[in-house]
């Protein structure tokens, strides 16, 4: 049960009931298509007459199309309704430190076109390079009417002003990316932190059991981000800063983090941490105890993954060390939030067969819960960061109406 916020609420008018039922019907069509009006009535609890009127409206507005007839054992054949995937296109932009991906998606969050460009050093330059590419992408598919742009970025967006506050891995801070992009493209833009985007992608398009109410996404790369869907809703916190569990202490007075504090989770469980573990182990062996490390031999995390797949024991030890710390942090989320599912996103998931059990073991050892939280890797092919940007824009049409 939610408390009504008397500082910002929405009264109901005569059209409110239609808005609510329309969204319910639209969502049922989205998730159960193809489906007949009769089944919609049965599954929603609405009268067949009401469903017919709503369906007519959705067809008139081109959200839904009427397709082939179905079959029944007896009686008149149902006329199937489908979601009209081509109704609107959405531009998704995934900004990462090295590369930015832009894509054009349909209503199913299926990408019909996609390309990448190097991420520029300054936001101004980035905008200058990005806007023409977006324009080109839209022109490539003139038959698709784009209605909005979603952006996922490794940083923080202020909830009230929607300004980019900081993005340490990009080296950007305090920039009005939203307005700049809107002016450049003429389309509305929604920004969101990468971990939050992933959480949205998983709850809207993920293949989890139905009715997942609480889902946590953990993005693991150079840092660690956490996106929380609790009570079916993204948790953004007071200013949009919620989810910085990567910067909570997992080792008191431990190693220094670039955030200025010590012992942060991401210092011990990020990709960089695994590289550090590997280098430390390797240098100890190779150079003895003098501590001098041969220059030019620092591997990338990708190298480490490849070595692990090839059976390199030192690489595997490093990866497992990282996974153990990952599990210790995830145990905090399991114990504190007790979600139905935690989704891990990042290059590390490619080695799930090596680390899945390590994480599970660490979680088991360090958590205290009966929630039965499942911990699963995200399918990297689904491009969660990018796909979340589509959800960000689609929410407007498919999300629950704001009421009271």
Partner DNA sequence: GCTATTAGTTCGCGACACGAACTAATAGGT
Partner DNA sequence: ACCTATTAGTTCGTGTCGCGAACTAATAGC
CB of 99 to a second copy, least distance (A): 26
The DSSP call for residue 246 is G
- 357, 347, 350: which is closest to 323 by C-alpha? 357
Adjacency order of strands within the sheet including 156-157: 156-157, 164-167, 172-175
CA–chain centroid gap for 126, Å, is 22
Q: How far is the CB of 12 from a second copy (least distance, A)?
A: 4
Q: How far apart are CA 356 and CA 350, in angstroms?
A: 10
Q: Is 232 in the site for a second copy (CB under 8 A)?
A: yes
Q: Which residue has the tokens 């801070």?
A: 173
The answer to whether residue 368 forms part of the interface with a second copy (CB under 8 A) is yes
Comparing C-alpha atoms, which of 223, 207, 112 is closest to residue 170? 223
Q: How far apart are CA 211 and CA 215, in angstroms?
A: 11
Q: How far apart are CA 306 and CA 126, in angstroms?
A: 32
State how far the Cα of 137 lies from the Cα of 296, in Å rounded to an integer: 40
Min dist. Cβ of residue 250 to a second copy (A)? 7
Least separation in angstroms between residue 4's CB and DNA is 15
Q: Compare residues 11 and 381 and give the one whose CB is closer to a second copy.
A: 11
Cis peptide preceding 34, ω within 30 of 0: yes
Binding to a second copy by residue 20, rule CB under 8 A? yes
Least separation in angstroms between CB 33 and DNA: 13
The correct pick among 131, 249, 281, 317 for binding a second copy (CB under 8 A) is 249
Q: How many angstroms separate the CA atoms of 193 and 248, rounded?
A: 18
Q: Which of 226, 319, 323, 363 binds a second copy (CB under 8 A)?
A: 226
135: nearest Cα among 189, 175, 91, 190 = 91
* CA–CA distance, 337 with 199 (Å, rounded to integer): 14
338 forms part of the interface with a second copy (CB under 8 A): yes
Strands (E), 176-223: 189-193, 215-220
Q: Contacts with a second copy in 147-176 (CB under 8 A)?
A: 156, 165
Q: Which of 255, 251, 275, 216 is nearest to 325 (CA)?
A: 251
- Show the CA angle centred on residue 260, arms to residues 256 and 264, nearest 5°: 55
349 binds a second copy (CB under 8 A): no
Judged by beta carbon distances under 5 to 8 A according to partner kind, the member of a second copy, DNA, none in contact with residue 76 is DNA
When asked if residue 31 is in the footprint of a second copy (CB under 8 A), the reply is yes
DSSP 120: P
List 251, 279, 281, 360, residue binding a second copy (CB under 8 A): 251
CB of 44 to a second copy, least distance (A): 6
Segment contacting a second copy (CB under 8 A): 87-95, 131-139, 180-188, 369-377?
Answer: 369-377
Residue 183: CB minimum distance to a second copy, A:
25
207 binds a second copy (CB under 8 A): no
* Using rule CB under 8 A, residue 255 touches a second copy: no
Residue 332 interacting entry, from DNA, a second copy, none, C-beta within 5 to 8 Å by type = a second copy
Of 46-65, which residues contact a second copy (CB under 8 A)?
Answer: 46
For residue 97, the minimal CB distance to DNA (Å) is 47
Residue 338 binds what, of DNA, a second copy, none (CB under 5 to 8 Å, by partner type)? a second copy
Hey, what are 68's tokens? 């082939």
Q: Does 373 bind a second copy (CB under 8 A)?
A: yes
Residue 266 φ then ψ, to 5°: -70, -15
Site of interaction with DNA (CB under 7 A): 11-15, 17-18, 20-22, 36-39, 45-50, 52-56, 69, 72-79
Of 76, 207, 210, 353, which lies in the binding site for a second copy, with binding defined by CB under 8 A? 210
CB nearer to DNA: give 67 or 132. 67
Distance CA 401, CA 52 (A): 21
Taking CB within 5 to 8 Å according to partner kind, which of DNA, a second copy, none is near residue 368? a second copy
């Amino acid at each position: 049960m939610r408390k009504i916020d008397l500082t910002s609420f929405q009264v109901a008018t005569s059209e409110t009931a239609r808005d609510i039922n329309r969204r319910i019907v639209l969502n049922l069509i989205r998730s159960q298509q193809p489906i007949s009006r009769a089944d919609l009535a049965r599954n929603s609890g609405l009268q067949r007459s009401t469903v017919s009127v709503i369906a007519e409206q959705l067809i008139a507005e081109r959200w839904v199309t009427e397709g082939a007839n179905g079959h029944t054992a007896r009686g008149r054949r149902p006329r199937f309704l489908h979601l009209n995937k081509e109704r609107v296109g959405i531009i998704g932009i995934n900004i990462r430190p090295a590369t930015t991906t832009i894509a054009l998606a349909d209503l199913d969050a299926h990408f019909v076109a996609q390309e990448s460009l190097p991420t520029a050093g300054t936001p101004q330059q980035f905008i200058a390079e990005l806007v023409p590419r977006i324009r080109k992408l839209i022109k490539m598919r003139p038959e698709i009417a784009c209605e909005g742009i979603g952006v996922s970025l490794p940083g923080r967006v202020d909830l009230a002003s929607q300004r980019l506050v900081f993005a340490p891995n990009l080296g950007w801070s305090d920039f009005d990316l939203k307005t700049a992009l809107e002016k450049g493209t003429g389309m509305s833009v929604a920004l969101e932190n990468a971990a939050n985007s992933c959480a949205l992608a998983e709850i809207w398009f993920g293949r989890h059991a139905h009715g997942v109410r609480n889902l946590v996404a953990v993005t693991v790369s150079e840092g660690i981000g956490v996106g929380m869907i609790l009570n079916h809703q993204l948790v953004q916190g007071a200013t949009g800063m919620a989810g910085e569990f990567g910067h909570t202490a997992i080792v008191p007075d431990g190693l220094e983090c670039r955030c200025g504090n010590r012992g942060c989770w991401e210092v011990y469980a990020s990709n960089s941490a695994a590289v550090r573990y590997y280098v430390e182990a390797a240098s100890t062996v190779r150079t003895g105890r003098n501590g001098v490390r041969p220059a030019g031999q620092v591997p990338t995390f990708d190298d480490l993954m490849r070595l692990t797949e090839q059976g390199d024991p030192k690489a595997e030890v490093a990866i497992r060390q990282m996974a153990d710390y990952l599990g210790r942090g995830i145990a905090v989320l399991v114990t504190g939030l007790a979600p139905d599912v935690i989704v891990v996103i990042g290059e590390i998931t490619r080695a799930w067969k090596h680390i899945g059990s390590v994480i599970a073991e660490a979680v088991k050892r360090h958590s205290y819960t009966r929630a039965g939280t499942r911990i699963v890797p995200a399918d990297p092919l689904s491009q969660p960061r990018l796909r979340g940007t589509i959800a960000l824009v689609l929410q407007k049409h498919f999300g629950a109406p704001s009421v009271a």
